[in-house]
Amino acid sequence: MKHDLKPATIAAHAAGALDPQSGGVVPALQPSTTFTRDENYELLRADNIYARDNSDNLRQAEKVLQQLEGAADTLLFPSGMAAIAAVFRTLPNGATAVIQSGIYWGTTAWIRDFCARRDVTLIEADVPDLAQACAKHDPALIFVETPSNPWLKSVDIRALSDATKATLVVDATAATPILMQPLAHGADIVMHSATKAINGHSDVLAGVLSTGRPDAQIWQDIRADRKGAGAILGPFEAWLLTRSMRTLPLRVERMTQNAQSLAEHLFDHPQVADVFYPGLPHHAGHEIAKRQMTGGFGGLLSVLVKGDKQDALRVVGKLELFLRATSLGGVESLVEHRHTIEPHTGIPENLIRVSVGIEDIGDLIADWNQALG
Ligand SMILES: *Cc1c(COP(=O)(O)O)cnc(C)c1O
């Protein structure tokens, strides 16, 4: 293939994956867990021994992601949390790590628990204090999420990378590799929950890590641990992911346009107190997001409705197209009342988190108008 293909081309062609055996334009699903040797005990394919190490379907999905991310190496995991855990498990006892506060609650909860068990000193800092926390505590690792979920805060990846020699890991799930490439801004490792927009059809659980520096010790450790400890994505999930990613740029383009229009509409609505979305000029992270994202600001936003918890739950209950379910990045729009899920983390009671899908924007706006009305 030619060099410098654009994301839409890489994705549509699944980075060139075909089925050489049948001539099919779609790669075959190969579920085998083990691979044969010939009469001289030579492997038929030197790169296929046992499915805990690798498989064709896994490599195909990783190749697409690696090219979309502009990475030198990419590893898939069975969930986003498994990818995050793979990073943190490289920390030795007694190490120090910094994480951004107010990020995806599942991440915070697991990291707190892990660090306590491992005797890892964990520092949690809000976006404006991250660089200072690194200067003060000299961590081995810093983990941030941008745009963050559900506050939609933006972390200046380049500034943070310049400010610390710690391994900088960026959870870019809400941005996708289509809208933001953290490695180009100085991140050491970029992480996505591929369960979200990368798969986009709410039917695969997966996580991914990519790096520009595959020779780094931490990456070698992550790679060895995935193989040894077996946190591997199955071939069927990898195959589905490859199939889904063919439309990733298209889906992201539409959900981003829809989210921008919905955010602007809701911000002007008399029943709405505020909207958190990096694409709105008044939003605190707008300038940073504009610098490091291209093509839009993603499909995730949070709406503060006027009133209290009951008012928010009433609006959520009246929505018809926005399904009441957790998760984000799917083709169908979702809403979640985060305070019900994590009442102890300071989420405002009147906050409704919205994942905007690829439906008709007129239908989506009409749904919110009737629910707020
Ligand atoms: C969903 C999510 C995760 C966890 O991913 P899973 O695939 O659900 O394990 C991590 N970070 C963010 C920002 C997410 O939205």
Determine the average pLDDT of the residues in 253-261.
98
Each as own residue / partner, the long-range contacts of residues 53-56 (CB below 8 Å, 24 or more positions apart, any chain) are 53/227, 53/232, 55/30, 55/235, 55/238, 56/27, 56/30, 56/235
Give the per-residue pLDDT at 72. 98
Does ligand 1 lie within 6 Å of residue 349's CB atom?
no
Give the separation between CA 134 and CA 53, rounded to whole angstroms: 35
Average pLDDT estimate for 284-294: 97
What are the distances in angstroms from CA 10 to CA 143, 230, 299, 323? Answer: 29, 29, 22, 32
DSSP SS3 for 273: strand
pLDDT of residue 342: 87
pLDDT at residue number 57: 97
Give strand pairing partners of 167. 141
| Structure confidence by residue, pLDDT tens digits, 349-368 | 999 999 999 999 999 999 99
Find all residues with CB under 8 Å of 197, minimum gap 6, and list them.
Answer: 173, 176, 248, 251, 252, 255, 298, 299, 328, 329, 330
Contacts of 180 (CB under 8 A, 6+ apart): 146, 172, 292, 293, 294
Average pLDDT over residues 18-27: 95
**1 has a pLDDT exceeding 70:** no
- CA–CA separation, 373 and 361 (whole Å): 18
CATH of domain 7-245: 3.40.640.10
Average confidence (pLDDT) over 36-41: 96
User: Looking at ligand 1, which residue's alpha carbon is closest to its atom 1?
Assistant: 193
pLDDT tens per residue, range 137-181: 999 999 999 999 999 999 999 999 999 999 999 999 999 999 999
Q: Residue 123, Cβ neighbours under 10 Å: how many?
A: 18
Determine the average pLDDT of the residues in 188-200.
98
Ligand 1 atom closest to the Cα of residue 207 is: 7
Mean pLDDT rounded to a whole number for the chain: 97
Average pLDDT for residues 55-73, to the nearest whole number? 97
Q: Is the CB of 274 inside a 6 Å radius of any atom of ligand 1?
A: no
Q: Is a pLDDT exceeding 80 seen at residue 207?
A: yes
In this predicted structure, what is the pLDDT of residue 54?
82
Any idea which fold 248-372 has? Aspartate Aminotransferase, domain 1 (3.90.1150)
- Start-end ranges of CATH 3.40.640.10 in the chain? 7-245
pLDDT recorded at residue 22 = 96
Q: Is 149 in the pocket of ligand 1 (CB under 6 A)?
A: yes
CB of 106 within 6 A of ligand 1: the answer is yes
State how far the alpha carbon of 14 is from the alpha carbons of 63, 66, 80, 237, in Å: 8, 11, 21, 15
Q: What is d(CA 273, CA 3) in angstroms, rounded to the nearest whole number?
A: 48
AA identity, residue 60 = Q
Considering the chain, tell me which residue range(s) the CATH 3.90.1150.10 domain(s) occupy.
248-372
Tell me which of 77, 149, 190, 341 to substitute to probe ligand 1's pocket, judged by most ligand atoms within 8 Å of the beta carbon: 149
> Can you give the pLDDT at residue 2?
59
Mean pLDDT within 88-101: 97
First to last CA, the chain: 53
Could you tell me if residue 298 is left (phi over 0), alpha (psi between -120 and 50 degrees) or otherwise beta? Answer: left
3 has a pLDDT exceeding 90? no
Q: How far apart are the C-alpha atoms of 120 and 154, rounded to whole Å?
A: 26
Look at the pTM and tell me if it is higher than 0.85.
Answer: yes
Answer whether 79 contacts ligand 1 (Cβ < 6 A). Answer: yes
Strand order in the sheet with 189-193: 73-77, 207-211, 189-193, 167-171, 141-145, 96-100, 121-125
Residue 276 has pLDDT above 80, yes or no: yes
Structure tokens at 217: 């010790």
Whole-number Å distance between alpha carbons of 297 and 303: 16
Q: Would you place residue 345 in the very low, low, confident or very high pLDDT band (cuts 50, 70, 90)? A: confident
pLDDT digits (tens, 9 = 90+) for 216-238: 999 999 999 999 999 999 999 99
Q: What is the pLDDT of residues 298-337, one digit of tens each?
A: 999 999 999 999 999 999 999 999 999 999 999 999 999 9
Q: What is the DSSP annotation of 49-90?
A: SBTTT--HHHHHHHHHHHHHHT-SEEEEESSHHHHHHHHHTT
